[in-house]
């Protein structure tokens, strides 16, 4: 629902009591505005036909000012209770500052080994003789 201008409600209620509440647009105020409007029409029709017309005119102005002020206050109340029309942006979640970790060092590479065909001992690839049994290493095929 769009927020309403309280001055428009006040002026409408001053000119025709109850119309400002109808303009306000909330259900309780619409009902109250319709009742007030009907009461205003009946009151005017009944009292203007009597001898008390000048007194009725003075009271009508007092009531018009009262309804205008009430309409202004009611509009301020409704506008404050109404949810904001601006989109609600959730706050940015807390993020810890990024830590600059050193680049991982590669695992030390061990030179590949070859196994002796006689005893199964592990030897470096450039070995000519087996370190375990001493026999000459066979050339890999």
SS (H, E, C) the chain: CCCCCHHHHHHHHHHCCCHHHHHHCCHHHHHHHHHHHHHHHHHHHHHCCCCCHHHHHHHHHHHHHHHHHHHHHHHHHHHHHCCCCCCCCCCCCCCCCCCCCCCCCCCCCCCCEEECCCCCCEEECCCCECCCCCCECCCCC
The tens digit of pLDDT for each residue in 78-109 reads 888 766 555 566 777 777 677 777 777 777 66
Tracing tokens 């202004």 back to the chain, one arrives at 72
Q: What distance in Å separates the CA atoms of residue 69 and residue 37, rounded to the nearest whole number? A: 16
Bridge partners, residue 18, by sequence:
none
pLDDT given for residue 130 in this prediction:
92
Reported confidence tier of residue 76, pLDDT bands at 50, 70, 90: confident
pLDDT given for residue 53 in this prediction:
65
Q: What distance in Å separates the CA atoms of residue 1 and residue 23, rounded to the nearest whole number? A: 12
The tens digit of pLDDT for each residue in 18-70 reads 778 778 777 777 777 777 777 777 777 776 666 666 777 777 777 778 888 88
Q: What distance in Å separates the CA atoms of residue 30 and residue 141, rounded to the nearest whole number? A: 98
The tens digit of pLDDT for each residue in 110-136 reads 667 888 988 989 888 888 899 999 999
For residue 7, pLDDT beyond 60: yes
Verdict on whether the full-model pTM lies above 0.95: no
């Amino acid at each position: 629902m769009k927020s309403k201008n309280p001055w428009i409600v006040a002026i409408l209620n001053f000119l025709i009591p109850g119309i400002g509440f109808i303009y306000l647009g909330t259900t309780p105020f619409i009902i109250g505005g319709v009742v007030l409007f009907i009461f205003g029409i009946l009151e005017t029709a009944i009292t203007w036909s009597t001898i008390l017309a000048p007194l009725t005119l003075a009271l009508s102005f007092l009531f018009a000012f009262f309804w205008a002020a009430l309409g202004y206050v009611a509009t301020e109340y409704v506008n404050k209770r109404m949810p904001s029309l601006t989109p609600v942006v959730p706050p940015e979640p807390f993020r810890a500052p990024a830590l600059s970790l050193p680049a991982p060092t590669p695992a030390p590479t061990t030179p590949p080994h070859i196994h002796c065909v006689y005893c199964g001992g592990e030897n470096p690839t450039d070995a000519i003789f087996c370190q375990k049994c001493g026999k000459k290493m066979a050339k890999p095929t």
